[in-house]
Structure 1
Amino acid sequence: MRWLFALLTLTRLVVGIEYDEGLSRNKFFPLAAAAYSNKPEECLENKVIGTKVLGKYVAPCNLRKSDHCFSFIGVNHKDKALILSFRGSTTPEQIVHEVLDTIVKPEVQTFNDTKVGFYFYHAFDQMWNKDMKVDFERYQAKFRTYDIWVTGHSLGGAMASLCAATIAFDYPKASERVVLYTFGEPRVGDKKYADLLDNHIPNSFRVIHNRDVVVNIPIIHAGHFWHHNTAVFYKNDMQNATDYIECSGPDRDCTFKHMRFQTSIEDHLNYFGMRISDYGLNSCKPVAARTYGTPRNLTDMAN
Structure 2
Amino acid sequence: MISKEQIAADYKHIQDEICAALEATDGIALFEEEIWEREGGGGGRTRIIQNGNIFEKGGVNFSAVHGHLPHTIKKALNVEQDDFFATGVSIVIHPNHPLVPIIHMNIRYFEMPSSFNNATPPVRWFGGGIDLTPHYVVEDDARFFHQQLKDVCDRFNHDFYQRFKVWADNYFFIKHRDETRGIGGIFYDRLTATDEISWETVFEFSKALGRTFIPTYTELVNRNRDKKFTSDQQQWQYQRRSRYTEFNLVYDAGTKFGLETNGRIESILMSLPPTAKWVYNYQAQPGSEEEKTLSLLKKGLNWV
TM-score exceeds 0.5: no
| TM-score normalised by L of structure 2 | 0.30
Q: Which has the larger radius of gyration?
A: 2
TM-score (norm. length: structure 1): 0.30
Q: Does 1 or 2 have the higher relative contact order (CA < 8 Å, sep 6+)?
A: 1
User: If each structure's strand is expressed as a fraction of its own residues, which one has the higher value?
Assistant: 2
